[in-house]
């Protein structure tokens, strides 16, 4: 528990209240109070220099001004150190009366920065500080120093709002509870662990609070009704989604947050602690603020971040709201812990009939162990319903293949989902018009444009953006296949049959890659049978030498496909060597540009035939023009 308790002190009422609470906690844990005060000598020195031009005339003479500077520096440095020493002696006297060990720290600098540096640099277990200092204003619910320190440290922190560490009354009868906020995050479980220990040692009641908002989706769907077009609502399946939330989300959320309280009851029972649990419905921060104002807990404990907190968040939304608006003494816990997996599994998971049937295949002697392991797997993966698929996936990790076969346990059949059950969206590049199906790409594979700029389009032609018309006369029976760059192409059945007709797997894959590359270069997301045949009938042009290319064509022909004229279909003014050089350029846009550049060069030079030398010179001229364009 907390042994080294750090208290920033400025002799304000709230810092005195923080000191009293720190002494109480130190006595309960055989701990030490570390008191600190920050003085800002350099800041006062800077301010004095800024005021020099406004001094009376008798002090404006250079010799007198230098004298005043020396006197001021001495008074400020020594005086502020004397104030700090006096504050620390006040702390020492109070800790002595409480029979608590004390250690003093004197710091120089900007108050909140010096405090943060000291807290981060020392192994303090807990920081206890007043919500306000000497500069308190009536309108502020928390002081600037307190809030700045709160956001920048990673140590457990108590912010004291009430002067005697009580629930707001001058006389504290010990009945005000320790209240803990639970949302299922690791830090909220650490908050519960801390709350149980504090309640037990202070002999105060313990309350666990779990708040959820069942009304948010009503607000969301009301907003969607005005934002989504009729076509978008049809693609989004608006009515079905709304019904799903009404029937499932409400009861599901209540069950999840009720399960946190069930686990809390079990953990408290293990320690012999009585606990009261309360499930609150509404905006969590509003529920907790209302509770703290009405019930006046002695201490309200929450994690610094909650279930939705990320690594880069200093304070979660609930913690920030309680710090800025709360009415109770607030403890923000930075530590993390987790309850036993079986406690969470018993409270949060349920078994489908198919899942139970698959578990029943395990021998009775190991069924209990297997059930616990499957529940742990489900909790770790975030499942609350243990289906046959979850069971089979868990057993794949637990049991070797031979054991699964011996027990007659196989992978569950995957759920069958029709296309009508899925949202079918495409994403359109605004720069080049490339269409990417199903998911937003990171970059456009054609023009390298940012994927975040892609526009959304309904895959069925329903417009949430521009629509792609159905191509007339085509058989739209398709299969989506992932390409080498991670995008997806829709293949017409006839196009796939052309590939399946190639007996050599290597040549079949090679033909597929040629088609994919040509489709991407033309911004297509659909490969028809005609397009595939046209591509395979064109010269392959993948950079192979003439003999290798001819061999590849022979293999395609043996598989029932014609790879086209290839090397034998060379334009009249191209020599075989020149044509072979052109085929080394990437197929599509790049090769077309290269051919145009070479032929343009041949006309300028009045070349009868395009030999290898002419092709190389034309390519070199094309590269020079490209560099000139880039230099402009």
pLDDT at residue 467 in the model: 36
The verdict on 520 and 592 lying in the same domain is no
Determine the Cα–Cα distance for residues 77 and 84; give it in Å rounded to an integer.
Answer: 11
Q: Are residues 93 and 108 in the same domain?
A: yes
State the pLDDT at residue 541: 45
Give per-residue pLDDT as tens, 423-450: 667 788 888 777 787 778 888 877 788 8
Does a structural domain hold residue 341? Answer: yes
Looking at per-residue pLDDT, the higher value among 74 and 29 belongs to 29
Q: What is the dihedral of CA 66, 72, 77, 79, to 10 degrees?
A: 160
Q: Which residue has the higher pLDDT, 563 or 309?
A: 309
Give the model confidence (pLDDT) of 186-214 as tens digits.
999 999 999 999 999 999 999 999 998 87
Average pLDDT over residues 554-568: 36
Q: pLDDT at position 257, please?
A: 86
More confident residue, 258 or 164: 258
CATH number of the domain to which 52 belongs? 3.40.50.620
Least confident of 223-232, 242-251, 259-268, 478-487: 242-251
Of the ranges 22-36, 152-166, 433-447, 564-578, the best mean pLDDT one: 22-36
Q: How many folded domains does the chain comprise?
A: 5
In a domain, 449, yes or no: no
Residue that terminates a domain, selected from 387, 406, 425 = 406
pLDDT of residue 169: 43
Segment among 152-161, 523-532, 546-555 with least mean pLDDT: 546-555
Answer yes or no: do 492 and 605 share one domain.
no
Domain presence at residue 431: no
**Pair (590, 549) in one structural domain:** no
pLDDT, greater one: 461 or 131: 131
Name every residue whose Cβ is closer than 8 Å to that of residue 139 and which is 6 or more positions away in sequence.
none
Does position 67 have pLDDT exceeding 90, yes or no? no
Is position 124 within any domain? yes
**Position 552 in a domain:** yes
Query: What are residue 302's phi and psi, to 5 degrees?
Result: -145, 160
Of 168 and 27, the one with more pLDDT: 27
pLDDT of residue 198: 95
Segments forming the whole domain that contains residue 56: 1-160
**Closest residue by Cα to residue 564 from 545, 540, 580, 584:** 540
Q: What's the CA gap between 23 and 270, in Å, rounded? A: 29
481-to-469, 485, 492, 496 alpha-carbon distances in Å:
21, 12, 11, 10
**For 457, phi and psi rounded to 5 degrees?**
-140, 140
Q: Of 298, 315, 348, which residue is a domain's last?
A: 348
**Mean per-residue pLDDT for 89-118?**
93
Which residue would you say has higher pLDDT here, 341 or 264? 264
| Better pLDDT: 356 or 104 | 104
With contact defined as beta carbons under 8 Å apart, do 498 and 479 qualify? no
How far CA 404 is from CA of 65, 364, 414, in Å, comes to 91, 15, 18
CA distance 51 to 80: 19
Region 568-577 average pLDDT: 74
Structure tokens at 570: 């060379």
Q: How confident is the model at residue 475 (pLDDT cuts 50, 70, 90)?
A: very low
Report whether pLDDT(493) > 90.
no
Output the pLDDT for position 336: 92
What mean pLDDT is reported for the chain? 78
Q: Do 549 and 566 contact (CB within 8 A), yes or no?
A: yes
Q: Provide mean pLDDT across the span 490-518.
A: 80
Answer whether residue 429 is part of any domain.
no
| Residues 275 and 361 grouped into a single domain | no
* Same domain flag for 631 and 583: yes
Shared domain check, 156 and 96 = yes
Q: Which among 51-60, 61-70, 100-109, 239-248 has the top mean pLDDT?
A: 100-109
Check whether residue 200 and residue 341 sit in a common domain. yes
Supply the pLDDT for residue 64.
Answer: 65
Instruction: Please tell me the predicted confidence (pLDDT) of residue 548.
Output: 34
Tell me the whole-structure pTM to 2 decimals. 0.62
CB 259 within 8 A of CB 251: no
My answer on whether 167 and 152 are in the same domain is no
Decide if 212 is inside a domain. yes
Q: Is there a single domain that holds both residue 400 and residue 310?
A: no
Q: In this predicted structure, what is the pLDDT of residue 70?
A: 64
Q: Does residue 210 share a domain with residue 188?
A: yes
Give percent of the chain above pLDDT 90.
Answer: 30
% residues pLDDT > 70 (the chain): 72
Per-residue pLDDT at 568 exceeds 70: no
Any domain includes 417: no
Please say which residue of 523, 553, 569 terminates a domain: 569
Lowest mean per-residue pLDDT among 59-73, 91-105, 311-325, 528-542: 59-73
Check whether 563 has a pLDDT greater than 50.
no
Q: Are residues 5 and 130 in the same domain?
A: yes
Q: Is the pLDDT of residue 408 over 50?
A: yes
């Amino acid at each position: 528990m907390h042994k080294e308790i750090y208290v920033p002190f400025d002799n304000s009422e709230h810092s005195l209240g923080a000191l009293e609470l720190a002494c109480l906690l130190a006595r309960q844990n055989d701990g030490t109070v570390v008191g600190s005060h920050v003085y800002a000598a350099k800041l006062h020195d800077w301010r004095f220099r800024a005021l020099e031009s406004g001094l009376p005339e008798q002090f404006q003479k250079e010799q007198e001004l230098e004298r005043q500077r020396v006197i001021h520096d001495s008074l400020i440095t020594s005086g502020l150190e004397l104030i700090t020493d006096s504050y620390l002696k006040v702390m020492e006297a109070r800790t002595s009366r409480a029979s608590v060990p004390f250690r003093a720290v004197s710091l120089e600098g900007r108050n909140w920065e010096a405090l943060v540096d000291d807290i981060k640099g020392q192994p303090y277990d807990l920081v206890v500080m007043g919500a306000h200092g000497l500069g308190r204003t009536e309108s502020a619910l928390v002081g600037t120093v307190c809030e700045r320190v709160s956001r920048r440290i990673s140590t457990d922190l108590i912010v004291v709002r009430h002067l005697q560490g009580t629930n707001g009354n001058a006389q504290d009868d010990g009945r005000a509870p320790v209240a803990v906020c639970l949302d299922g995050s690791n830090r909220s479980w650490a908050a519960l662990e801390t709350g149980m220990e504090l309640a037990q040692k202070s002999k105060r009641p313990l309350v666990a609070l779990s708040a959820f908002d069942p009304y948010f989706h009503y607000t969301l769907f009301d907003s969607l009704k005005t934002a989504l077009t009729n076509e978008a609502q049809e693609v989004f399946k608006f009515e079905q989604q709304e019904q799903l939330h009404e029937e499932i989300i409400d009861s599901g959320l209540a069950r999840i947050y009720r399960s946190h309280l069930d686990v809390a009851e079990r953990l408290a029972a293990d320690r012999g602690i009585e606990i009261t649990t309360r499930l609150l419905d509404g905006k969590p921060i509003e529920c907790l603020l209302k509770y703290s104002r009405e019930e006046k807990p002695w201490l309200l404990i929450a994690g610094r971040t909650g279930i939705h907190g990320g690594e880069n968040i200093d304070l979660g939304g609930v913690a920030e709201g309680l710090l800025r608006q709360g009415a109770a003494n607030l403890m923000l816990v930075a530590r993390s812990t987790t309850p036993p997996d079986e406690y969470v599994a018993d409270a949060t998971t349920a078994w489908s009939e198919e899942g139970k049937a698959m578990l029943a295949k395990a021998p009775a002697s190991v069924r209990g162990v297997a059930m616990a392991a499957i529940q742990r797997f489900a909790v770790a993966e975030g499942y609350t319903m243990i289906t046959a698929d979850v069971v089979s996936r868990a057993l794949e990790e637990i049991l070797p293949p031979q054991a699964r076969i011996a027990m007659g346990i196989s992978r569950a059949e995957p759920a069958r989902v029709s296309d009508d059950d899925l949202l079918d969206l495409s994403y359109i590049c605004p720069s080049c018009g490339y269409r990417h199906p199903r998911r937003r790409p990171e970059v456009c594979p054609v023009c390298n444009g940012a994927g975040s700029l892609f526009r959304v389009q309904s895959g069925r032609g329903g417009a949430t953006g521009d629509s792609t018309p159905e191509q007339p006369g085509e058989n739209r029976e398709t299969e989506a296949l992932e390409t080498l760059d991670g995008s997806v192409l829709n293949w017409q059945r006839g196009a796939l049959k052309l590939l399946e007709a190639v007996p050599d797997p290597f040549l079949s894959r090679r033909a597929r890659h040629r088609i994919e590359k040509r489709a991407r270069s033309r911004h297509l997301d659909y490969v028809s049978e005609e397009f595939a045949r046209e591509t395979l009938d064109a010269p392959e042009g993948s950079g192979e030498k003439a003999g290798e290319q001819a061999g590849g064509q022979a293999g395609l022909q043996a598989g029932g496909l014609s790879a086209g004229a290839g090397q034998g279909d060379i334009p009249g003014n191209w020599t075989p060597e020149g044509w072979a050089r052109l085929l080394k350029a990437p197929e599509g846009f790049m090769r077309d540009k290269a051919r145009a550049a070479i032929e343009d060069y041949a006309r300028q030079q009045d070349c009868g035939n395009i030999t290898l030398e002419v092709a190389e010179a034309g390519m070199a001229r094309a590269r020079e023009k490209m560099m000139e364009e880039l230099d402009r």
